[in-house]
Amino acid sequence: METLKTKAANAIRKHRMISPGDRIAVGVSGGPDSMALLYLLHDLREELDCTLHVAHLDHTLRGAESSADAEYVKEQAVKRHRPITVAGGDVRQVITPNESLDSGARRVRYEFYERVMANAPADKVAQGHNSDDQAETVMMRLLRGSGAQGLSGIPPVRDNFIRPLIEISRAEINEYLKQLRIIPRQDSSNLSTVYGRNKIRLELIPLLERDYSPNIKHILKQTGELLRTEDEFLTALAVEASERCVQYPDARTAIIRISALGEHHPALQRRIIRLAIKTLAGNLTGFDYDHVRDVLRLAILGATGSSISLPREISAEKSYDVLILRSGSQPGISVEPFDYLIAVPGETPIPELSLLIRVAEPMAVCGKYEKPQEENEFRATFDCDKIRGNLRLRNRRAGDRFHPLGVSGTKKLKDFFIDQKIPRNLRGRVPILTDANDILWIVGYRIDDRFRITANTKKQLAVTAIPNYETEHRQNTAIGK
CB 189 within 8 A of CB 182: no
CA atoms of 481 and 163, how far apart (whole Å):
16
Beta-carbon contacts of 417 under 8 Å, excluding residues fewer than 6 positions away, are 396, 427, 430
CA atoms of 245 and 257, how far apart (whole Å):
5
Domain locations along the chain = 4-214, 232-332, 339-468
Band of pLDDT at residue 466, cut at 50, 70 and 90: confident
Q: Is 463 exposed, middle or buried (0-12, 13-18, 19+ CB in 10 A)?
A: buried
Superfamily of structural domain 4-214? HUPs (3.40.50.620)
Answer yes or no: is pLDDT of 341 > 90. yes
Answer yes or no: is pLDDT of 385 > 50. yes
Answer yes or no: is pLDDT of 370 > 60. no
CA atoms of 35 and 30, how far apart (whole Å):
6
Tens digits of per-residue pLDDT, 278-304? Answer: 999 888 878 888 999 999 999 999 888
Going across the sheet that includes 253-257, the strands are 246-250, 253-257, 322-327, 314-319, 307-310
Report the share of the chain in percent with pLDDT over 90.
Answer: 67
Widest Cα–Cα separation across the chain: 88
Band of pLDDT at residue 126, cut at 50, 70 and 90: very high
CA separation, residue 432 to residues 378, 429, 439 (Å): 12, 9, 7
Task: Give the residues across from 114 on adjacent strands.
Answer: none
Task: Give the single-character DSSP code of 123.
Answer: S
CA atoms of 380 and 391, how far apart (whole Å):
14
Rounded mean pLDDT, 59-82:
88
Architecture of domain 232-332: 2-Layer Sandwich (3.30)
| Three-class SS of 85-113 | EEEECCHHHCCCCCCCHHHHHHHHHHHHH
Architecture of domain 339-468: 3-Layer(bba) Sandwich (3.50)
- Cα atoms in the Cβ-side hemisphere of radius 13 Å centred on 373: 0
Of the candidate ranges 159-168, 228-237, 421-430, the one whose mean pLDDT is the lowest: 421-430
CA atoms of 340 and 392, how far apart (whole Å):
5
Rounded mean pLDDT, 55-71:
86
Which residue would you say has higher pLDDT here, 38 or 373? 38
Which residue would you say has higher pLDDT here, 328 or 47? 47
Rounded mean pLDDT, 181-201:
82
DSSP H or E run through 149: helix 148-151
